[in-house]
Each structure stands twice: as C-alpha cells, then as structure tokens.
A and B are shown apart, each in its own frame.
Chain A
C-alpha cells in the first residue's frame, strides 16, 4: 500500500514538473517566434498543455470538478485558434 502511494506521488510530481517545463518552452517560442503562424501555434500548444495541467491537478486532488473546466478550456482554445488564424487569413473574424 505504501509502495502504491509512493509510486503515485512520484509519478504525479514528475508529470507536473515536465508538463510545466513544456509550458515554459512553449512560452519561449511564443516570445521569440519569428512569424505569426509560430505564435498562434505556441498559443495552441499552451492551451493543450494547460488542459494537461488541470487534469493532473484533478488527479492530485482526487476531485471530479476539474472535468468541466478542462472541457470548456478545450473548446475555447480551439475557437480562439481558429479565430486568430481566420483574422490573419481574411482580415476579419466574422464577415
């Protein structure tokens, strides 16, 4: 039993650190990204990584209320990515 708890805690800590690290890497690309497409891609990646972080938080706290949060963030992330890309492509979001 104590082995299972230790394994769970170690895996959670490692996953938190690694996903936060990749979030920071995406932020670096967002800052230095030379083109507009790279910045949109970095924002999309940051949204996906944020969903991963929230899911990890739900596992760590054993709570079920983070499911709706991550679902809404997934939908908003997709809509905002399409809106950014459409603004660059067409010059307007809703024509």
Chain B
C-alpha cells in the first residue's frame, strides 16, 4: 500500500516534470526569433521532457505490474539521435544562408556545407538565383 503510494507520487512528479519541459520547448520553438536560436529549445528541452515521461512509464510498470526496462531503449535512442538531427538542421540553416554565417576559413576554401561564400562566384550566383526563385514563387 505504502509502496504504491510512493510510486504514484513519483509517477506524478515525473509526469509534471515531463509536461513542463515539453511545454517550455514548444514555447521556445514558437517565440524565439532566429533560426539557430529556435534550434536550441526543442532539441534539448523536448528530449528531456520525453525522457521524463518515459521514466514515469517505467515507474508505472514497476509499481502496478511486474516491471520492465523497455522504455530505456526509446530513451537511449532519442538521446543519441537528437544531437544528430539537430546538427543536420543547423547545416540546413547554414546551407540556405538563413542565419549569420561563420567567417571565411583562413587557409582552405571548404566552408560548412559548401565552398566559402565569395570564393566561388558561380556557386554564389547559383544560390542567389535559387533564393530569388524561392521568394518569387
């Protein structure tokens, strides 16, 4: 009886933490005003929120049933893949020149996802034409 009460309180705390973290991530996604700033909120805070919800599910299975650690699989998968997808989305923002781009490299011309801006006139013209076409359509 007492163990069940403690388990229920632990589940409730984990659910509250997960819900608050998820909400904070979504608010950050909605309210920030720069592409790369927006990237910070959901990829870190949202992953943490889902991790807390999965922890609540795990405690629930231990409290009211035999218990299982299966949710650890989802948690580990999300924690491993969230930085990778965040890196890909940051690369997309850099590639489309939607943010403040990093400075030119000192020695070679390899820059982020393409050659350094300004170093390769054809490429820059191509990207400008593509962006012009995007805004026109």
A interface residues (Cβ-Cβ under 8 A, vs B): 1, 3-5, 7-8, 10-12, 14-15, 18-19, 21-23, 25-26, 28-29, 35-38, 40-42, 44-45, 48-49, 51-52, 55-56, 58-59, 62, 64, 67, 70-71, 74-75, 78, 81-82, 85-86, 88-89
Residues of B within 8 A of A41 (CB): 29, 38-39, 42-43, 89
Cα A78 to Cα B81 with chains together (Å): 7
20 A–B contacts from the bound complex (CB under 8 Å)? A8-B12, A14-B16, A15-B16, A21-B23, A21-B26, A23-B26, A25-B26, A25-B30, A36-B96, A37-B39, A37-B92, A45-B25, A52-B50, A55-B50, A59-B11, A64-B65, A64-B68, A74-B81, A78-B84, A82-B88
Quick one: CB contact mask for B1-24 with A, threshold 8 Å, 1 for yes? 100110011011001101110110
Cβ-defined contact, B15 with A11, below 8 A: yes
B interface residues (Cβ-Cβ under 8 A, vs A): 1, 4-5, 8-9, 11-12, 15-16, 18-20, 22-23, 25-27, 29-30, 35, 38-39, 42-43, 46-47, 49-50, 53-54, 56-57, 60-61, 64-65, 68, 70-71, 73-74, 77-78, 81-82, 84-85, 88-93, 95-96, 98, 113
Cβ-defined contact, B15 with A15, below 8 A: yes
Cα A41 to Cα B43 with chains together (Å): 8
Residues of B within 8 A of A88 (CB): 92, 95-96
Cβ-defined contact, A36 with B11, below 8 A: no
